[in-house]
Structure 1
Amino acid sequence: MKRVVHLSQLSHSSLIEPGKPGAEVFTPHRRAARVIGSPYQPLDREAVRLLRRNGWEMATGVVARRNLIAAVKQVLKLDEPSPVAARMTPSMQALLRTGIDPNNLLNYQSERVRQLAEITLVYQAMLHQQRLLDPSEALWHASRLKLNRKPIVVYGYFRPRIDELAFIDALAGEGSRFLVPCADHSIFRENRKALEFLRSRNWEVEEPGTSLTTYGQRIANSFLTGNASEDRSPAHSYPNLEAEVRGVLAQIKELLISGVNPDEIVMVARDDKIYGPTLLSIGWEYEVPVRVLYNFPLDQTRFGVWVRLMLEAASTGFSFEPTIQMLSHRMGQGLGLSAQSLKASRSVHTEGLDGWKSLEIDLSQLDWPESATRTEWVRLLRNILDKTDSRKHAEPWARELKAFEIFHENVDGLLFDEAEEIVTIETFAADVTELLSSLTVPFQPGVGGVELHTPEVLFGSQYRHVFVMGMNEGVMPAPVNEDPILDFYDRKLLVEKGIGLESAADVARREVLSFYLMIGIATERISFSYPRIVNNDESIPSAFMQRMGLVIRPAVELELPLASREEARRAFIGGDAILSGDDVLPAAIRSLEVEAGRESPAAFDEYDGVVGLPLDAGEIQWSASQLTTLGQCPFKWFASKVLLLKEPDEMETELFPSLRGRLYHKALELAFAGLIDVEDPREAALMRLDEAFIQAEREIGIPGLPAWPAQRAEHLQTLRNAIGSADFIEAGSRVIHTEMTFQSVWHGLKVRGSVDRVDRTSAGIDLIDYKTSASVPPGAKNEDGDAKLDLQMPIYIHAAGSSRFPGEAITGIYYSLKKAEVLERVEVADSPELQAFAERVKRHLKDGDYPVDPDNERKACTFCEFDLVCRQGNRLDRKRSA
């Protein structure tokens, strides 16, 4: 029986002849099959076909994971085996691919290896009992079957593993051919071992002399030998990854316009997941068809998130967060969430089935039982996906539709051969989450376009133009990382025992060989590039570029054409040129002018609150807080009181400051009701405080906060401490008013408000203002721009004290309920600075002048909800300095 191994330094497809009539061709991917003109058929597919004929099936991802978790739990006696199973999976798969009997490792010196062997044995036994195999052991099992040998051609398996070699040898008959790249260089060490294996199985070896016929083969040879090639490869550096992608796609667009077919061009990146999203985004902008082919976890798709949110909402009794996220999801459009119901639910954090029903949102179809059989759970899940038209909502995106289909195909795997087992909704939700995380979907389903690949999936292919991106040190080649279970020390010892595991040196050689074989696929041109900045850190070019003797030039030397309308707009926006047929550019130019004005030292204009809208300050009823707000930042007052902007009402998890202040004030008002003119009313008020607090909660309308019982006790104690303090009321004083309202005119401005408490003391009248904070709040801006000009107490003394208690000595007091002490006493009711402030207010309103001009320390910005509108920042310093 003659079977031939063709040796070649590079992947010369010309060495592979069709062989005997009827010979089957096996390639690892369609790109290699295309080169030799054969149908695509990989070895693992043939192995699965043969195994099925003998009664074996492959364990799906979810079934394999469930059995591995059970094996880990049985061997290690863990309560939470899932994380250990996940960490152990790569090591176990590597062990299975070696073909070794795990029994041989049960007495190994490393406890980790012994545990791995024992778990692998239990795991295999569980699967085999169900006539299932882990995919990692499929080739070995197939090679041990009684196979009918046949003539085969194997091409593209240029770095064959031992399990692939065993299966090829078991399957190959008379006239079979196998191309293996090999040469006298260290990077071919593993391939030389493969050659020894095949020779021991009576394969003949042919070593024809081959010439370096293609451009890529000559570049690859220069990489291997270190000798400069007459052919030169361009190499460029870009400022960042986006610039690199734009540069590469601009060159590809030129090629496409010149008539090159998309399937004659390929993009290569060692980490395709980093480049994929950016390539798709800019490819859309450039109108360049881009195809990324890596797999994407199902739990990160829109559909996967949607399924998880449904289960979380149902299993938590429709608590607010997961339910509102589910209803707001793109795929939850059929569940009835309107703008009005969204606003209402956010204000109270709706909970429970009845709560959502009160908003006319019917979630009864998700009102699932606490426990049910697995069959019933799967039926309920399929039913809700049908009723919510999940497939229809997924159709706008190919990836989401594919995710829906993959999930539907695998959902029966949740039965786990225990269809009538009764499990809780929480257990079922966890199983679904695990299923979603174990399934993958192509990131961009479809065909056609310029493809992005990693080097190892290009073996045996050919492209006219190859663009290699991400040629950074630490990226290409990828760093060598330890396996958490089978570390390199253990691997070294196991290799010495004849177990075919990769050592650290093997991994490094594999990276170099992959790069070498990838270079050889180019027939006309291969270019290399890298970004100088990655994740805000400076990067250096890969040593591979130096090894090829490449001269790295800045990408600006390429002088690339404008590749999209968006780039043309950016180019024309600063000049006088007009982009014909473009309606966006004039608006973009105007927007840039506005933004430049905002960022420049020029005076505030209409885009910074100087709108020229006059108002009569004398006709407005002012409160002390309104005047303080305008005095701190005119725009903040304008946005709130004129534009009527406000953030959507959102229930807090604890009392926010304004609501806490209202609660405290109301409770104190009720506690002191009926205690007017009573000497030292504190004891009586303390006795009434609990009842007053309950009534205040009811009148204020405290929302159902998650931890309110515990918080409530803290707030009550704060009020008890405040009332019991010696500072709360001066000895011999009497309370004569609580929540005393007033209206008056202050420097030509109509003012109104209420004083929390009024006491008559031996010295006169005290106006007490309760503060829930530990300090006096910031005031309006003074002449120096600092928020230190107190308006509240001067207004109270003038408008309330002097008008209600003429001729008496008036003192204003700020009292901290939090600290249970007096913060400040104020006796001066007026000053020239206050008169000047009132005039400033009138001038602002008369001129319609409400600039974004907060105090020097930006205290006005601390609790401001208009930051997205005003966009204050360093730009304000430039305007002030001018």
Structure 2
Amino acid sequence: MLKVRCGPYAALEQAFLRQLDSLQKDDPFTPIAVVAPSRRMAERLERLAAGRPRLAVRFHTFHSLALQLVREDGQESRKLVGDPLLFDRLVDSLLGSGPRPKGLASSYRSTLKDLIDAGVEPRAGELVDEGLLSGKEEAERLRGLLDLLARYEKSLEQLGVLTPAGLVRRAAELAPKSAALGRFKALLYYGFYDLVGLQAEFFEAVAGEFPVTLYFPYRKGHPAYAFADRFFETKLHQGGTVPEPVEAPAEPLGDALFVPGRSAKAPEGFLRFLTASGASDEAWRVAKEILRLVEEEGVLPSEIGVVARALDPYRSALADAFRASAVPFHMSAEEPLLKRPAARACWTLLALARREFPALSVLDLTASPFFKLPPGASAGRWSALVRRLRIHRGWLQWEGRLPGEDAALWTLLKELKAELEPKGRRSWGEWAEYAAALLDRRFDAGGDEAFKAVLDELCSLEVLDLLGGKPEFPEFLEALDDRLHSAGLPVTDEPNQGVSVLDAMEARGSSFRVLFLVGLKQGLFPRVIREDPLLRDRARKALRDAGGYWIGQKKDGYDEEKLLFHLLVSSARERLYCCWPRSDEEGRSQVPSIYLFDLFRAAGLDPKRLALREDVPRQPERRLCSNALAPYLTPREASLAAALAGADPWSLHKALGWEAGALKALREGALELDRYGAPGPKDGVVGPLAEHLAWLKGHGLSPSTLENLAACPFRYLASKVLKLAEPEEPCEASKVDPARAGTLYHEALEAFYRHPKAKGDVRAAVDASFGKLDWRAMGLYPLLWEFEKERMARALEAFLRWDLAEQAQSGFVPELFEQGLDGKLEVALPKALEGMRFHGRADRLDSDGKSFRVVDYKRTAKSKKLAKRVSEGEALQPPVYLELAAQRKEFAGQAQGGAVFYPVESFLEEPEPDPYTAQDHAALRKAVLERIGALLKAVAEGRFVIKPQEGEQGYCDWCPFPAVCRKNHAMTLVRARRAP
């Protein structure tokens, strides 16, 4: 009772409509069922049949038809569930309790689905025992997989769960005696070119008892249809059925595609080729071409298709380009739910505790417009406070540093901690209700689409109650994490309106007046096919050939890729645009799809001489200044094009109601930044700053400020002149804050040397200094703080023992600690700074009665020696402190004995004092003072040009102002190198 009609989709459509008309010619209410492989194809057939009285025609997919049969029977007590998360967790429970990768259960579930869809039963293990596979290891792997399949299906049965595959299997059993199927005069199956095993059984069960016509997209002997060969030969000739070819119009290009040695001339103007740099430029050019087609050639948006093999790499680029250019479109793909701010804020809140309250997440949450702040609270003030306290993550950091600083924030965090760490076990449904109530309480986003979607995803987790058991809240959040990261929202609201943006699978069977194929590059179309490591192709082939199960091999996917490409090429009626990225967004070269070259061959084209190829320029000025595209530019693009072309864009700005004055200033500023020549005001050459110089003369300069000025004058401008705040880097809970560690060393050393009695028991003195410190105040975990405290104490003890021995040998003894220094230097100061003083604070000043030395404590050692850094102008503290200390009365008549840096932690292994000797100072003193004079002259003249120092030891690595200095801007660097 099966009739098979085969041919290309375009011919099948007409044959399908003719048969539909014929079946209802005498009675327009003749009941007919139409079954398609996808909902989209069923809707397309329904639209094709529109305009005729089709009240008695029912359009189904395999799933919906199976569901109707099972519901009609009324005997199925199991609950239909298609949620992959439930199946993943069930498989995970069957894999045992040992450690395994997070995605392993999902991989097993996918393989089990292939076996179940193919109708493979656990008893297929008997075939393995009979030598189905020759390789012992592969046979054992398959046997283990079939054992897992048996336990999986048994568990589903015990849980009372009916899977979609189980639904189809049950429908196949019911089909021969179905009253619902018997009411149809005919069943028209349309558009599938392959079926999995259970679908094939369902189809055969229906075709064996009822009048069925199959419209099968297939051209016998054509290489592009090789993927459908096996199904055609094996399944469609049973019972004496002879497939009937449908008369189809000539299709020269399709006839030649993938046929070696054959070519055909494509219709005039049919083929166009576009290349661009990256998906964004590709999408931009497609959008402009669509506007041109609509405006100049009268093509309706609904007659245009844009298709990629997979939409994910192009989803955002196409949506952004079409919206910017006002191209009406509908897209089947969804955008990630967590891309929406409200959804992201919800997950940020729920995940705070499991992520140990990261400071950035807390600040993002409190800055969200959806989050309910306590009365009088300020997210901006909280952000500044958290950065000042250098909180990174971990409840202990919050607990140790925040109390006493801001009561409202601390109260909020304590409340959130209690809400996000509930005790006990509850059902999945109860946890979903708890989380939903928490979100409702903390957010004001009831009308937001994404917020509603999050609540829906929470409710969907109730299905996991079928598995039994009551999870704790962290386990619930783990499942919610998987759910939210896989959830999506529609990109467009109106289906089937405007340009169709589809992936290749959804576009099967469609027809377009104009089609754009985007993303034609290797790795995307054709996609990369990989074997299933759990069920390799050799095992699949054995199950299919020897076992009789209708299961496909993964490598057959390459044949399907060819078929999809051929179907897409054939779906364009008047014009086909083939688009590919010649490079990605970063400029890396991309390889065009191999299918393009077969298309070139089939069309008789030389790929090196494509007259109809357009290379979309990467540079905005070349891309936007095309006369052909000028009418289709957005106002912003038109403004930019006018500015780049040297035209006057201000009249356009005025007509659009833009703030022309501000735009003009911005344009002039941009031109200034890109000019050649000497540095100017935007490079830091600002001229004398009288107010700042007066302030500087009154306050003086410290050596650290001089060092920053020498390293990069622009940092001095940002910090001291513009008064930009230097952001504090947060400190991780896994290590001691370096600044805090340095302070601890200084305090301990000062306390030690101020109490001479302590020298009798060095370790006791060190323990006394550290004993009062609490892990909460340090923001570390208790055990970690104990470890760090012991390490730092051992470093101090090692240093002090060495230092005491060195003092005994050299005769130098500490005289002054944390001593403020102030005075003048023998520097030729500019007139505006005459009389300016210098100041600083020395860690320690030693004396032997004849000379004095400057001692500075450091945490770790530098790779470059101190004397070398002084000679290169990197370290100015030692010479300046020596000059200032010489002016103190305590050292009157004493010689300058040099300076030394003590990196305390290096003494744990090998002492590394870093000296700047009296001889070094005598040799370098004049040059140092001249360098300081030159720096101050530049300050007086207002010259603060950047001096980038990239690399591992470069100054730029720890500069707090990388976002404002433009060190990566080419022309800024060119001008900076020309600075005196």
Same fold (TM over 0.5): yes
* Partner deviation per Cα, 1:660-713 (whole Å, 9 max, x = no partner): 3322112111111133xx9xx854555422223446x58997455673222222
Q: 1:637 aligns with which of 716, 723, 729?
A: 716
**Mapping of 1:20-31 within 5 angstroms?**
20=24, 21-27=30-36, 28=38, 29=40, 30-31=43-44
TM-fit CA distance, 1:478:
1.9
Q: 1:752 — aligned with what?
A: 839
Q: Which 5+ residue runs of structure 1 have no aligned equivalent?
A: none
Q: Which amino acid aligns with 2:478?
A: A
Q: 2:313 — aligned with what?
A: 274
- Would you say the 8 A contact 1:768–1:812 is kept in 2? no
**Mapping of 1:173-184 within 5 angstroms?**
174-184=210-220
* Partner deviation per Cα, 1:382-427 (whole Å, 9 max, x = no partner): 21132234752633xxxx2563364155132243353xx4432222
Q: Which amino acid aligns with 2:575?
A: R
Q: 2:789 aligns with which of 698, 712, 721?
A: 712
1:209 partnered with 2:247:
yes
Q: 2:472 aligns with which of 424, 444, 464?
A: 424
Q: Which amino acid aligns with 2:706?
A: L
- Would you say the 8 A contact 1:102–1:120 is kept in 2? yes
Distance 1:325 1:424, change over 3 A: farther
Q: How far apart, CA to CA, are the structure 2 residues paired with 1:380 and 1:368?
A: 12
TM-fit CA distance, 1:752:
1.8
- Would you say the 8 A contact 2:425–2:470 is kept in 1? yes
TM-fit CA distance, 1:167:
2.4
**Mapping of 1:801-820 within 5 angstroms?**
801-804=886-889, 805-816=891-902, 817-819=904-906, 820=911
Q: 1:568 aligns with which of 623, 638, 646?
A: 638
Q: 1:363 — aligned with what?
A: 416
Distance 1:657 1:70, change over 3 A: closer
Q: Which 5+ residue runs of structure 2 have no aligned equivalent?
A: 25-29, 134-138, 617-625, 828-834
Q: 2:178 — aligned with what?
A: 147
Give the SS at the match of 2:521: coil
Distance 1:798 1:604, change over 3 A: same
Q: How far apart, CA to CA, are the structure 2 residues paired with 1:474 and 1:652?
A: 42
Q: 2:505 — aligned with what?
A: 456
TM-score (norm 1): 0.88
Q: 2:755 aligns with which of 633, 649, 674?
A: 674
Q: How far apart, CA to CA, are the structure 2 residues paired with 1:701 and 1:669?
A: 21
Distance 1:425 1:699, change over 3 A: closer
Distance 1:269 1:306, change over 3 A: same
- Would you say the 8 A contact 2:252–2:264 is kept in 1? no
Q: Which amino acid aligns with 2:116?
A: L
Distance 1:693 1:777, change over 3 A: farther
1:254 partnered with 2:254:
no
* Partner deviation per Cα, 1:61-101 (whole Å, 9 max, x = no partner): 1322232223333xxx6455863321112222221221232
Distance 1:699 1:301, change over 3 A: closer
Q: 2:731 — aligned with what?
A: 652
Q: 1:840 aligns with which of 934, 937, 953?
A: 934
Q: Which amino acid aligns with 1:879?
A: R
Distance 1:134 1:441, change over 3 A: farther
- Would you say the 8 A contact 1:468–1:528 is kept in 2? yes
Q: 1:581 — aligned with what?
A: 652
Q: 1:506 — aligned with what?
A: 556
Greater shift, 628-637 or 588-597, is seen at: 588-597
TM-fit CA distance, 1:650:
4.5
Q: 1:222 aligns with which of 241, 250, 256?
A: 256
1:850 partnered with 2:859:
no
Q: 2:6 — aligned with what?
A: 7
Distance 1:734 1:85, change over 3 A: closer
Distance 1:115 1:11, change over 3 A: farther
Q: 1:44 aligns with which of 47, 53, 63?
A: 63
- Would you say the 8 A contact 2:303–2:512 is kept in 1? yes
Q: How far apart, CA to CA, are the structure 1 residues paired with 2:764 and 2:229?
A: 93
- What's the % identity of the aligned pairs? 20
TM-fit CA distance, 1:455:
1.9
Greater shift, 468-477 or 81-90, is seen at: 81-90
Distance 1:410 1:790, change over 3 A: closer
Q: How far apart, CA to CA, are the structure 2 residues paired with 1:106 and 1:536?
A: 56
Give the SS at the match of 2:505: helix
Q: 2:538 — aligned with what?
A: 489
TM-fit CA distance, 1:433:
2.6
Q: How far apart, CA to CA, are the structure 2 residues paired with 1:499 and 1:236?
A: 44
Q: 1:385 — aligned with what?
A: 439
**Mapping of 1:71-470 within 5 angstroms?**
71-73=94-96, 78=98, 80=100, 83-105=103-125, 107-108=127-128, 109=133, 110-145=139-174, 146-148=177-179, 149=181, 150=184, 151-172=186-207, 174-185=210-221, 186-189=223-226, 191-195=228-232, 196-201=234-239, 205-212=243-250, 217-223=251-257, 225=259, 226-231=262-267, 232-258=270-296, 259-295=298-334, 305-315=344-354, 320=359, 323-324=362-363, 326-328=365-367, 331-333=370-372, 338-346=379-387, 347=389, 349=391, 351=395, 358-361=409-412, 362-363=415-416, 366-374=419-427, 375-389=429-443, 391-392=445-446, 394-395=448-449, 400=450, 403-404=453-454, 406-416=456-466, 418=468, 421-437=469-485, 439-447=487-495, 448-470=497-519
Q: How far apart, CA to CA, are the structure 1 residues paired with 2:484 and 2:499?
A: 29
- Would you say the 8 A contact 2:824–2:836 is kept in 1? yes
TM-fit CA distance, 1:606:
1.7
TM-fit CA distance, 1:482:
0.8
- Would you say the 8 A contact 2:197–2:551 is kept in 1? no
Q: How far apart, CA to CA, are the structure 2 residues paired with 1:856 and 1:368?
A: 45
- Would you say the 8 A contact 1:234–1:527 is kept in 2? yes
Q: 2:686 aligns with which of 577, 592, 611?
A: 611
Q: How far apart, CA to CA, are the structure 1 residues paired with 2:551 and 2:776?
A: 70
Distance 1:797 1:315, change over 3 A: closer
- Would you say the 8 A contact 2:853–2:882 is kept in 1? no
TM-fit CA distance, 1:360:
4.6
Give the SS at the match of 1:376: helix
Q: 2:565 aligns with which of 509, 512, 515?
A: 515
Q: 2:623 — aligned with what?
A: none
Q: Which amino acid aligns with 1:65?
A: D
Q: How far apart, CA to CA, are the structure 1 residues paired with 2:946 and 2:663?
A: 24
TM-score (norm 2): 0.80
Give the SS at the match of 2:313: helix
Q: 2:917 — aligned with what?
A: 826
TM-fit CA distance, 1:163:
3.4
Give the SS at the match of 1:869: coil
Distance 1:587 1:493, change over 3 A: farther
- Would you say the 8 A contact 1:686–1:720 is kept in 2? yes
TM-fit CA distance, 1:268:
0.9
Q: 1:800 aligns with which of 876, 885, 900?
A: 885
TM-fit CA distance, 1:716:
1.6
Q: How far apart, CA to CA, are the structure 1 residues paired with 2:776 and 2:722?
A: 27
Q: How far apart, CA to CA, are the structure 1 residues paired with 2:417 and 2:852?
A: 62
TM-fit CA distance, 1:457:
1.6
Distance 1:283 1:122, change over 3 A: same
Q: How far apart, CA to CA, are the structure 2 residues paired with 1:755 and 1:364?
A: 45
Q: How far apart, CA to CA, are the structure 1 residues paired with 2:900 and 2:814?
A: 16
